[in-house]
């Protein structure tokens, strides 16, 4: 039924076109083959030169707009040309014997006058209508496909969506305010998606599936929601609809699909950047992307956070280096070749598709003799140029490229790398992996394969770097070397830690560098009285324990142990807080200070207990606070005439509810 409907729509549209319009449209579709290739090549070259994802995205969208406009401009150009040619033909004395397209279609089997050449009119009058009909069939099919997709989204939205919980709504509203989005945005929980997505244009809806609400941490959920809100802020749903329309109209050109794929990938990169900039945790976002890749299931017409290549997005988010520089060089070279081929093909097609070529030679000669002469001269020049010139014979000298490639392969074999694939050789050469580099690593006892060689070269791991690390006492393997280099660990850093009294293993060393632990920090921590291990130093740094903090506690007489210091910092026990407690005549230990802070005991609370006549120790204070013995409760007990009240008795009165009013009961 769908096929019959599509065919009927196509037939109706074809019958509505005049023969000249069919020819103009056919030539426009043909010309777009080289125009689309040229625009895609230019876009690829420009995008390869840009570092920012937002710039590449704008270039891609701009190229897509030009792709849509180019066949329209070509259609109007040929429409005007055909009109002028038709006027010329009518004014010619030979017009009476020139058959129209309708006449030829009505008498397709009749003989034509011998003075007219059918070959000169075949491309425009016979082939082009079939081409237009095939194009209209494709447009009708993709239109129905797109409409069905949007209708399916709307149906699922109405049937299987509920409002999110107040806590999640609060997170969404906070992120919306941070992005400055004043639009009305709905947030719904659903079970038919596996990753958060945005659907809708003027009234967008952010869908949060149950898998994301239960499978992601709160921080990860904030990051992916920020990603979806970035789509709304950037008006990406509208651009996506435009992309679908262009894909529907120009479905037959692979460059359109390629460019749309690049635009969607760069759009995800832009939203990734916004999410990380807003929430500030690239590592958690990379973990969230990895989790959602396992849940991948999102409609193509929706803005989903798990859209796009996973590896490329994670590498970008974490700021790791890739083979992008070499690939950009290859992309530029390929773009130039495609652009050259497209322009050559376009030039040939322009000559073939000139409107005057649709007329027989006799009629063209009678109607426009100067134009015919010009075409004849141009053809003569083209024929002469096509003949090989004896003065410039083709060179028979052997190319040096093959010899260079062969010598590189032989040199790599002599360095111990044999049986390399073409892709591996290309990647090694792009990254400038030389036989000398391979031999230098071998001299250090390392024998990496092609993939590890590329990774080590990308990270600029030299034999000298390996030698320096080993001279300082480290003996890392290949993967550890890459991790050390990524984090900027060198021999000097490791020697400095050893001199400060810390001798970590490779994994711990990487963790110390990630947390910004320096030899100076270790020395200052030890000078403050803490004899710490490598893992303890990492814990102190994670909690932002500074030497000044340690000195402040030491000056107040607090006995310091590493675990207690970390606990105090976590509970926000400051030197000022300790000083205020000590001013009330108490000398709490580090563990007691943590207990006081956990129960939110303030100096004012202790002062109120003391003012009520109680001589309290730390244990009594914590017990009273836990049982909610407030100064108001103490005053209420005194009003009942109780005497000889101790803090323990007050706690019992509170536990039993003896002084509670009827309203409290």
Concatenated DSSP letters for 577-642? HHHHHHTTT----HHHHHHHHHTT--HHHHHHHHHTT----HHHHHHHHHTT--HHHHHHHHHTT-
User: pTM, whole model, 2 decimals?
Assistant: 0.47
What is the arithmetic mean of pLDDT over 178-193?
A: 82
Higher-confidence residue of 406 and 441: namely: 441
Chain segment 199-231, per-residue pLDDT in tens: 877 888 888 887 777 778 888 888 888 898 999
What is the arithmetic mean of pLDDT over 370-389?
A: 43
Question: 525: Cβ–Cβ under 8 A, 6 or more apart, which residues?
Answer: 532, 537, 540, 545, 547, 550
pLDDT, position 283: 81
Q: Is the pLDDT of residue 28 over 80?
A: yes
Rounded Cα–Cα distance for residues 507 and 494 (Å): 12
What is the arithmetic mean of pLDDT over 165-187?
A: 86
pLDDT, position 246: 94
pLDDT band for position 579 (cuts 50, 70, 90):
very high
Question: 651: Cβ–Cβ under 8 A, 6 or more apart, which residues?
Answer: 623, 624, 627, 629
Contact 244, 300 (CB under 8 A): no
Chain segment 644-659, per-residue pLDDT in tens: 777 777 887 777 777 7
Rounded Cα–Cα distance for residues 350 and 379 (Å): 14
pLDDT band for position 89 (cuts 50, 70, 90):
very low
pLDDT, position 91: 52
Rounded Cα–Cα distance for residues 221 and 208 (Å): 9
φ/ψ of 420, rounded to 5, equals -85, 140
pLDDT, position 324: 52
Coil, helix or strand for 308? coil
Chain segment 559-573, per-residue pLDDT in tens: 888 888 898 988 999
How many distinct helices (H) and strands (E) make up the chain?
A: 34, 5
pLDDT, position 626: 85
Nearest Cα to Cα of residue 61 among 275, 260, 329? 260
The percentage of the chain sitting over the pLDDT mark of 90, rounded to a whole number, equals 19
Q: Is 656 within the bounds of a domain?
A: yes
Rounded Cα–Cα distance for residues 141 and 169 (Å): 40
Boundary-marking domain end, from 310, 326, 347: 310
Higher-confidence residue of 356 and 580: namely: 580
pLDDT, position 409: 86
Q: Is 605 within the bounds of a domain?
A: yes
pLDDT, position 248: 92
pLDDT band for position 259 (cuts 50, 70, 90):
very high
Sheet containing 197-199: order of strands: 161-163, 186-190, 205-209, 197-199, 303-304
Q: Tell me the two tokens of residue 560.
A: 């310091």
Nearest Cα to Cα of residue 326 among 424, 426, 259, 408? 426
The percentage of the chain sitting over the pLDDT mark of 70, rounded to a whole number, equals 74
Rounded Cα–Cα distance for residues 625 and 621 (Å): 6
Q: Is 254 within the bounds of a domain?
A: no
Alpha-carbon distances of 71 from 258, 277, 635, rounded to whole Å: 18, 40, 88
pLDDT, position 375: 41
What is the arithmetic mean of pLDDT over 605-626?
A: 84
Mean pLDDT is lowest, of 37-41, 156-160, 439-443, 448-452, for 156-160
Question: 544: Cβ–Cβ under 8 A, 6 or more apart, which residues?
Answer: 569
Chain segment 423-454, per-residue pLDDT in tens: 888 888 888 999 999 999 999 989 898 888 99
Rounded Cα–Cα distance for residues 580 and 72 (Å): 79
Boundary-marking domain end, from 271, 291, 310: 310
For the chain, how many structural domains are there in total?
2
Q: Is 45 within the bounds of a domain?
A: no
Coil, helix or strand for 309? coil
Q: Tell me the two tokens of residue 122.
A: 């075949």
Average pLDDT, the chain: 77
Rounded Cα–Cα distance for residues 157 and 301 (Å): 13
**Helix or strand (DSSP H, E) at 199:** strand 197-199
pLDDT band for position 12 (cuts 50, 70, 90):
low
Q: Tell me the two tokens of residue 586.
A: 């108490």
Boundary-marking domain end, from 293, 310, 327: 310
pLDDT band for position 88 (cuts 50, 70, 90):
low
How far apart are the two ends of the chain, measured CA to CA in Å? 74
Give me the domain span that covers residue 623: 599-665
Chain segment 126-146, per-residue pLDDT in tens: 677 888 888 999 999 988 888
Q: Is 218 within the bounds of a domain?
A: yes
Q: Is the pLDDT of residue 60 over 90?
A: yes
Q: Is 488 within the bounds of a domain?
A: no
Mean pLDDT is lowest, of 40-49, 219-228, 340-349, 627-636, for 340-349
Q: Is 217 within the bounds of a domain?
A: yes
- Cα atoms in the Cβ-side hemisphere of radius 13 Å centred on 106: 5
Q: Is 194 within the bounds of a domain?
A: yes
CATH number assigned to the domain comprising residue 281: 3.30.2010.10
CB atoms within 10 A of CB 493: 19
């Amino acid at each position: 039924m769908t096929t019959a409907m599509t065919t009927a729509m196509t037939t109706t549209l074809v019958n509505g076109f005049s023969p000249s319009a069919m020819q103009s449209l056919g030539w426009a579709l043909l010309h777009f083959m080289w125009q689309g290739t040229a625009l895609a090549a230019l876009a690829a070259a420009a995008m390869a030169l840009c570092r920012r994802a937002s710039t590449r995205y704008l270039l891609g969208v701009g190229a897509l707009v030009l792709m849509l406009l180019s066949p329209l401009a070509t259609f109007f150009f040929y429409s005007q040309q055909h009109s002028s040619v038709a006027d010329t033909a009518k004014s010619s004395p030979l017009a009476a014997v020139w058959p129209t397209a309708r006449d030829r279609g009505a008498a397709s089997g009749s003989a034509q006058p011998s003075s007219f050449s059918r070959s000169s009119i075949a491309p425009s009058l016979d082939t082009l209508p079939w081409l237009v009909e095939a194009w209209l069939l494709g447009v009708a099919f993709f239109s129905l496909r797109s409409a069905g997709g949007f209708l399916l989204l709307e149906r699922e939205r109405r049937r299987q969506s509920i409002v999110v919980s107040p806590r999640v709504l609060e997170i969404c509203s906070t992120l919306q305010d941070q992005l400055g989005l004043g639009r009305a945005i709905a947030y719904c929980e659903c079970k038919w998606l596996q990753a958060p997505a945005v659907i809708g244009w003027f009234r967008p809806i952010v869908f949060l599936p149950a898998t994301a609400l239960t499978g992601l941490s709160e921080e990860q959920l904030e990051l992916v929601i920020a990603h979806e809100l970035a789509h709304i802020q950037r008006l990406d749903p509208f651009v996506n609809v435009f992309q679908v329309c262009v894909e529907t109209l120009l479905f037959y050109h692979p460059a359109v699909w390629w460019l749309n794929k690049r635009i969607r990938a760069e759009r995800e990169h832009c939203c990734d950047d916004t999410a990380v900039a807003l929430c500030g945790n690239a590592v958690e976002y990379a973990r969230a992307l990895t989790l959602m890749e396992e849940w991948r299931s999102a409609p193509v017409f929706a803005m989903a956070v798990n859209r796009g290549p996973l590896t490329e997005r994670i590498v970008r988010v974490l700021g790791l280096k890739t083979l992008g520089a070499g690939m950009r060089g290859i992309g530029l070279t390929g773009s130039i070749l495609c652009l050259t081929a497209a322009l050559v093909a376009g030039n040939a097609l322009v000559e073939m598709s000139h409107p005057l070529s649709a007329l027989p030679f006799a009629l063209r000669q009678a109607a426009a003799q100067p134009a015919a002469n010009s075409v004849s001269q141009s053809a003569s020049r083209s024929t002469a140029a096509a003949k090989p010139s004896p003065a410039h014979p083709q060179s028979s000298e052997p190319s040096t490229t093959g010899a260079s490639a062969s010598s590189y392969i032989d040199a790599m074999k002599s360095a111990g790398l044999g049986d390399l694939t073409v892709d591996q050789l290309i990647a090694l050469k792009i990254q400038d992996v030389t036989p000398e580099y391979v031999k230098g690593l071998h001299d250090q006892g390392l024998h990496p394969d092609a993939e590890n060689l590329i990774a080590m070269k990308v990270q600029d791991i030299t034999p000298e770097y390996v030698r320096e690390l080993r001279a300082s006492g480290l003996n890392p393997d290949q993967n550890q070397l890459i991790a050390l280099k990524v984090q900027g660990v060198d021999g000097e850093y490791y020697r400095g830690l050893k001199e400060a009294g810390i001798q970590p293993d490779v994994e711990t060393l990487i963790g110390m560098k990630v947390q910004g632990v320096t030899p100076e920090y270790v020395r200052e921590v030890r000078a403050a009285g803490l004899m710490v291990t490598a893992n303890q130093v990492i814990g102190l740094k994670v909690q932002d324990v500074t030497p000044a903090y340690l000195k402040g506690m030491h000056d107040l007489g607090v006995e310091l142990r590493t675990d207690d210091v970390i606990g105090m910092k976590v509970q926000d026990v400051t030197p000022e807080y300790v000083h205020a407690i000590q001013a009330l005549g108490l000398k709490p230990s580090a563990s007691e200070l943590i207990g006081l802070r956990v129960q939110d005991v303030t100096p004012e609370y202790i002062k109120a207990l003391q003012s009520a006549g109680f001589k309290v120790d730390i244990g009594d204070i914590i017990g009273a606070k836990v049982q909610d013995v407030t100064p108001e409760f103490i005053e209420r007990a005194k009003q009942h005439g109780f005497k000889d009240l101790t803090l323990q008795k007050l706690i019992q009165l509170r536990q039993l509810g003896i002084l509670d009013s009827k309203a409290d009961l």
